[in-house]
């Protein structure tokens, strides 16, 4: 980990009221680029703290434990590095005032509660704006906020699988994404929207409200399907092919992605397979012909790839044809690309490390790993400078820095 907060956003202060995954993913991107993200948590903490796996010294928020214990596991840690935790009870008038004072000195506030909750608590956008007219207020919601367009589902709760399904992604792909894409993508769009709103605020000296709906985000993610349906009124079925070969192929020890719809890549692949006859074959001489004869084309590539290991295929095609082995986490950790790009940042969970049962990659019980920011700037570093926080770990420190005294 680096020793201090660095990056192009190091002049920004963000009050983060988001919990679980979508919001914290987005604010985590901003924190990794240097923003000071103050995570506001209720007395019982972010619900994600309770998700496994947990280190050996884990305890739930509120349990009486030794000072060196830790109240989160890998799920929480994955999206909360570089943040500071402040515990406030926003149902309390005293803590509401503390919260508003924090907002007075912040650039932005973000939350992912159900529409209207922050307003009911007396700390919504309009209230904050009376204290800081330049504040940018962002919200991630399942179906958006009435301020920007009132959905008939505006007050419905929404989690990842509901967002994937309702927004069309499941029917487009054939199944739920096993990673929480209806959290990850809206969170990313929230970070983008926040930066756009901050840019405008600096030009106009006026803040603004914006929101990102999980439903809308899924539609945007499959915008090609949306536009195609608008033209043809025909549903694009999962597995519909417009590029061939373009997908996963068998290897003797797993699977590997090969993408050679471009003619120069197809010609190179044919040479590597020892099948130069396929370059001029009427069934495979162009991408439209390969799409028409997709089963035949895929069978030819599969017959070659299935007799080789993933590494042998990479050795043959790497640098010539777009290729990517379907790596396990162990293989990702060992990949020289990951080391060269410094994409793994280690940290120690608070508490005593227990290395029994560890594997040859990571000591499981006391040592953690975060992904570093994939956004790199020449001459301006980004990185993991602070481990994920314990619940309320920075409350006194942050309030002192902001010059706030609790009643």
The catalytic residue positions are 183
257 HSE (CA, 13 A, CB side): 9
Do residues 109 and 138 touch, judged by C-beta distance below 8 A? yes
Cα separation of 140 and 4, whole Å?
Answer: 29
Residue carrying structure tokens 């948590």 = 41
| Exposed/middle/buried for residue 93 (C-beta within 10 Å: 0-12, 13-18, 19+) | exposed
Q: What is the residue-wise DSSP string for 303-368? A: HHHTTS-HHHHHHHHTTTS-EEE---HHHHHH-HHHHHTT-EEEEEPSS----TT--SS--TTTEE
Cα separation of 392 and 95, whole Å?
Answer: 13
The count of residues in the chain is: 407
CB-based contacts of 392-397 (< 8 A; 24+ apart in sequence): 392/41, 392/85, 392/86, 392/87, 393/84, 393/85, 394/38, 394/84, 394/85, 394/86, 395/85, 395/86, 395/87, 395/88, 397/84
Do residues 129 and 123 touch, judged by C-beta distance below 8 A? no
Tokens of 364: 């499981």
Cα separation of 37 and 10, whole Å?
Answer: 10
The DSSP H or E segment spanning 290 is helix 287-292
Cα separation of 138 and 151, whole Å?
Answer: 18
CA 275 to chain CA centroid, Å, is 41
376 HSE (CA, 13 A, CB side): 7
Cα separation of 30 and 36, whole Å?
Answer: 8
């Amino acid at each position: 980990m680096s020793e201090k907060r660095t990056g192009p956003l190091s002049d920004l202060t963000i009050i983060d009221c988001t919990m679980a995954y979508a919001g914290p993913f987005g604010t985590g991107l901003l924190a990794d680029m240097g923003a000071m993200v103050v995570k506001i948590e209720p007395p019982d903490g972010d619900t994600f703290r309770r998700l496994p796996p947990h280190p050996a010294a884990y305890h739930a928020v509120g349990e009486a434990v030794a000072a060196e214990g830790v109240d989160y596991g890998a799920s929480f840690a994955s999206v909360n590095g570089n943040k500071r935790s402040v515990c406030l009870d926003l149902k309390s008038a005293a803590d509401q005032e503390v919260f508003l004072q924090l907002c007075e000195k912040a650039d932005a506030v973000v939350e992912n509660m159900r529409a209207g909750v922050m307003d009911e608590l007396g700390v919504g956008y309009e209230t904050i704006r009376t204290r800081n007219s330049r504040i940018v207020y962002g919200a991630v919601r399942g179906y958006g906020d009435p301020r920007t367009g009132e959905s008939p589902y505006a007050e419905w709760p929404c989690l990842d699988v509901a967002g994937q399904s309702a927004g069309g992604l499941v029917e487009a792909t054939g199944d739920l994404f096993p990673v929480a894409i209806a959290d990850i993508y809206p969170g990313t769009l929230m970070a983008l929207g926040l930066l756009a709103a901050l840019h405008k605020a600096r030009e106009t000296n006026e803040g603004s409200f914006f929101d990102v709906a999980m439903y809308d985000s899924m539609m945007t993610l499959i915008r090609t399907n949306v536009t195609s349906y608008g033209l043809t009124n025909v549903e694009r079925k999962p597995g519909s092919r417009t590029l061939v070969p373009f997908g996963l192929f068998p290897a003797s020890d797993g699977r590997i992605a090969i993408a050679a719809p471009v003619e120069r890549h197809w010609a190179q692949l044919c040479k590597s397979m020892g099948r130069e006859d396929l370059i001029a074959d009427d069934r495979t001489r162009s991408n439209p012909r390969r799409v028409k004869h997709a089963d035949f084309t895929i069978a030819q590539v599969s017959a070659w790839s299935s007799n080789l290991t993933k590494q042998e295929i990479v050795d043959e095609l790497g640098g010539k044809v777009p290729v990517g082995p379907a790596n396990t986490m162990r293989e990702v950790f060992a990949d020289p690309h990951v080391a060269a790009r410094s994409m793994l940042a280690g940290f120690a969970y608070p508490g005593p490390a227990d290395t029994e049962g560890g594997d040859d990659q990571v000591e499981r019980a006391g040592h953690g790993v975060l992904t570093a920011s994939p956004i790199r700037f020449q001459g301006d570093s980004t990185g993991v400078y602070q481990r994920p926080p314990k619940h309320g770990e920075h409350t006194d420190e942050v309030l002192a820095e902001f010059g706030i005294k609790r009643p």
